[in-house]
C-alpha cells in the first residue's frame, strides 16, 4: 500500500477548507493512491487513441492509459504525435472551445513545459496565434522544443517577465496564466511539493500571483479573457485572487458549462464561478480554474498583413513549405524563420520588444556560407512533403537516430527526413557512404536500452 507522509499543518488546512468527509477523502487520495497517466493526441498529426482507453471527459483528444509506458522509447512521442499530460490540465481544451470561436492572439504567460500551450494550439480556432512565454531560462528551452515538436507554425516562444509583456499594451485577446503556486495538488506526482509545503510558502505564492496578474493585465485587450489557474487547493491562491481581480480591475467572472457527471467541484465560499479538480473526485491531479473578462470595449485582434520587420530572401526556404505565400521570412541570429503573414505585425512587435527564442517555423540555420534545414522544419505541419526526400525506417533505426548515432541508409544524397510509421523525426545529411545524424544533441535519448518493440500508445 502506498503511504505518503503529508505535513500535519497541510492536512489541518484541508480540514479547515472543506467538510470533514471531503477532507478525509482528499487526504486519503493524496496519501494512498497513485497518480493517473494520460495522453493527449496532436490533432494535426494523425493517429487515433486506443479504443479501449477511457477518454478524458472534458477533452476529446485525451485518454487515460493503464500503467506507465516508456514514452522515451516511442518515436511518435519524439515526433510530437501526442503529449503526456495530466487529465485535469486538459480542462483548458473545454474552456477554450466553449468561449473562443474566432482566431485570436493568445498568450500563455507561464507556459513551460508546454502542456497547456499545446492544448491551446489544438483547441483554438484555426489561424490563431499562440505566444508561449517562460521566464526561467532552462524551462524556456524545454518549452521551445515542445512547441517545435507540436509543429504548429502560428506560434512564438518568448522568455521575459510579465512586466515586459504588459508594457506592450493591450495586444492579446486571451491571456492564460497558470501561475507558480504552492503545488498542493501535485503531491501525488511530486514528493518535493509535499516536503516544501508551509503556510508561509502559500502566502509568498499568493503575493507573487497578485504581482504577476497586475503586471500582465495591461496586455489583455478590453473584452479579452483571462484564464487563471493553479495546481493548489487553498483559497488564498485561488478564490481570493479571483475576488481581488473583481475588486481591483472590475473583472467579470465567466461561467463555463460543466456537466454534473464530470464531478468537478465549484469554488469554496465565493459567489463567483470557479472550477476545482480534486483527485478523490476526478481522475487527475489537483487543479483550480477561473475565467474572467476584462471590461468590454473593442476586442478585434490587431491582425495585419503589414510587415513591421525586415523581409529577407531565401528562395530555397519558401520551396520547403506548403502554401508558402502564407509566410514571410525573418532572421534571428543565424536562423531563418517563417511566420504567418497575417500575424507579421504583431510578431514583429513582440520580437522587437521581448526576449524571443523562436517565431513561426525555424526553417534553416546558417553554417558558414551555407544554410542547413533546421530540426523544427522536419516536425512542422507546414512542411511540403516533397520538399525533401523522406525515408521510412524501422524501429531499431529510429532509436539509433534519436540517440544521435551514425547511420548508413539507402536514400538520395543530401538532406533527408527520417520517419517512423509516418511520423517525421528529423534530418540526416546523406553523403552516400554514410549519413550525418542531425538530431539535436539536447534532445537525444541517453539510455542505451533498446526495446524490441515500441510502446503502443496510439493506433498508427
109 plus 253 within the same structural domain: yes
206 and 256 fall within a common domain:
yes
One domain, residues 275 and 324: no
In a domain, 454, yes or no: no
Q: Is residue 332 part of a domain?
A: yes
For position 57, what pLDDT does the model report? 98
Is 311's pLDDT higher than 70?
no
CATH code for position 427: 2.30.130.60
> Over pLDDT 70: what percentage of the chain?
95
Q: How confident is the model at residue 316 (pLDDT cuts 50, 70, 90)?
A: low
Residue 396 is predicted with a pLDDT of 96
C-alpha cell of 286?
Answer: 489537483
Identify whether residues 282 and 308 lie together within a single domain.
Answer: no
3 belongs to a structural domain: no
Residue 128 maps to a domain: yes
Distance of CA 437 to the CA centre of its chain: 27
| pLDDT of 306 strictly over 60 | no
368 plus 326 within the same structural domain = yes
- Averaged pLDDT, 274-284: 98
The predicted-structure confidence for 342-391, as pLDDT tens digits, reads as follows: 999 999 999 999 999 999 999 998 877 778 899 999 999 999 988 899 99
pLDDT of residue 17: 97
With a cut of 80, say whether residue 297 has pLDDT above it: no
pLDDT tens readout for residues 106-117? 999 999 999 999
| pLDDT above 70 (res 338) | yes
298 within some domain: no
Using the 3D structure, point to which of 274, 293, 312 is the last residue of a domain. Answer: 293
Sign of the CA dihedral 357, 363, 365, 369? negative
The pLDDT of residue 233 is 98
Number of folded domains that form the chain: 3
**Lowest mean pLDDT: which of 18-22, 48-52, 139-143?**
48-52
In this prediction, residue 385 carries a pLDDT of 82
Q: Are residues 354 and 413 in the same domain?
A: no
The residues facing 424 across adjacent strands are 419
Pair (268, 328) in one structural domain: no
**How would residue 308 be classed by pLDDT, with cut points 50, 70 and 90?**
very low
For 209-228, what is each residue's pLDDT tens digit?
Answer: 999 999 999 999 999 999 99
Asked whether residue 230 falls in the same domain as residue 280, the answer is yes
Show the domain range for 433.
388-449
* Any domain includes 309: yes
Q: What is the pLDDT of residue 46?
A: 86
- Domain boundary among the residues 245, 262, 293 is at 293
Region 80-95: mean pLDDT is 98
State the Cα–Cα distance between residues 164 and 350, nearest whole angstrom.
10
Last residue of one domain, picked from the residues 364, 384, 404: 384
Q: How far is Cα 316 from Cα 29, in angstroms, rounded to an integer?
A: 56
Is residue 459 situated within a structural domain?
no
Question: Is 457 a member of any domain?
Answer: no
Name the average pLDDT for the chain. Answer: 93
One domain for residues 192 and 324: no
Least confident of 8-22, 52-66, 71-85, 362-376: 362-376
The answer to whether 93 touches 58, Cβ cutoff 8 Å, is: yes
For residue 299, pLDDT over 60 is answered with no
Q: Are residues 203 and 120 in the same domain?
A: yes
Tell me the pTM. 0.95
- Are 268 and 400 contained in the same domain? no
Residues linked to residue 415 through DSSP beta bridges, in sequence order? 429
What is the pLDDT, as a whole number, of residue 227? 98
User: Please, what's the b/e burial string for 100-136 (b: 16 or more CB within 10 A of its CB; e: otherwise)?
Assistant: beebbbbbbbbbbbbbbbbbbbbbbeeebbbbbbbbe
Regarding whether 225 and 141 lie in a shared domain, the answer is: yes
Read off the CATH number of the domain in which 264 is found: 3.40.50.150
Amino acid at each position: 500500500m502506498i503511504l505518503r507522509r503529508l505535513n500535519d499543518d497541510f492536512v489541518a488546512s484541508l480540514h479547515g477548507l472543506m467538510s470533514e468527509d471531503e477532507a478525509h477523502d482528499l487526504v486519503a487520495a493524496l496519501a494512498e493512491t497513485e497518480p493517473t497517466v494520460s495522453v493527449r493526441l496532436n490533432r494535426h498529426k494523425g493517429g487515433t487513441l486506443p479504443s479501449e482507453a477511457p477518454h478524458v471527459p472534458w477533452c476529446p483528444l485525451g485518454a487515460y492509459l493503464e500503467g506507465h509506458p516508456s514514452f522515451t522509447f516511442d518515436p511518435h512521442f519524439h515526433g510530437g504525435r501526442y503529449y503526456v499530460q495530466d487529465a485535469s490540465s486538459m480542462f483548458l481544451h473545454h474552456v477554450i472551445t466553449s468561449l473562443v470561436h474566432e482566431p485570436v492572439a493568445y498568450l500563455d504567460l507561464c507556459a513551460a513545459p508546454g502542456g497547456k500551450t499545446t492544448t491551446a494550439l489544438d483547441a483554438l480556432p484555426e489561424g490563431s496565434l499562440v505566444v508561449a512565454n517562460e521566464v526561467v531560462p532552462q524551462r524556456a528551452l524545454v518549452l521551445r522544443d515542445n512547441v517545435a515538436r507540436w509543429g504548429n507554425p502560428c506560434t512564438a516562444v518568448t522568455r521575459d517577465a510579465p512586466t515586459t509583456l504588459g508594457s506592450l499594451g493591450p495586444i492579446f485577446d486571451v491571456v492564460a496564466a497558470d501561475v507558480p503556486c504552492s503545488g498542493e495538488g501535485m503531491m501525488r506526482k511530486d514528493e518535493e511539493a509535499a516536503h516544501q509545503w508551509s503556510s508561509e510558502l502559500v502566502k509568498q505564492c499568493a503575493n507573487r500571483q497578485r504581482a504577476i496578474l497586475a503586471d500582465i493585465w495591461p496586455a489583455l485587450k478590453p473584452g479579452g479573457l483571462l484564464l487563471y489557474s493553479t495546481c493548489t487547493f487553498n483559497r488564498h491562491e485561488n478564490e481570493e485572487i479571483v475576488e481581488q481581480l473583481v475588486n481591483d480591475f472590475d473583472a467579470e467572472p465567466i461561467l463555463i458549462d460543466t456537466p454534473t457527471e464530470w464531478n468537478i467541484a465549484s469554488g469554496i465560499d465565493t459567489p463567483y464561478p470557479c472550477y476545482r479538480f480534486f483527485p478523490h473526485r476526478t481522475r487527475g491531479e489537483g487543479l483550480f480554474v477561473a475565467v474572467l473578462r476584462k471590461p468590454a470595449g473593442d476586442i478585434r485582434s490587431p491582425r495585419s498583413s503589414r510587415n513591421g520587420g525586415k523581409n529577407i530572401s531565401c528562395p530555397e526556404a519558401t520551396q520547403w513549405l506548403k502554401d508558402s505565400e502564407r509566410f514571410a521570412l525573418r532572421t534571428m541570429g543565424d536562423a531563418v524563420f517563417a511566420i504567418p503573414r497575417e500575424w507579421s505585425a504583431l510578431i514583429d512587435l513582440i520580437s522587437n520588444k521581448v526576449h524571443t527564442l523562436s517565431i513561426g517555423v525555424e526553417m534553416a540555420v546558417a553554417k558558414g556560407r551555407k544554410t542547413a534545414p533546421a530540426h523544427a522544419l522536419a516536425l512542422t505541419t507546414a512542411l511540403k512533403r516533397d520538399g525533401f526526400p523522406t525515408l521510412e525506417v524501422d524501429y531499431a533505426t529510429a532509436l539509433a537516430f534519436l540517440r544521435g548515432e551514425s547511420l548508413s541508409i539507402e536514400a538520395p544524397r543530401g538532406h533527408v527526413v527520417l520517419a517512423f510509421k509516418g511520423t517525421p523525426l528529423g534530418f540526416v545529411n546523406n553523403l552516400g557512404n554514410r549519413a550525418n545524424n542531425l538530431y539535436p544533441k539536447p534532445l537525444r535519448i541517453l539510455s542505451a536500452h533498446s526495446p524490441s518493440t515500441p510502446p503502443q500508445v496510439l493506433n498508427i
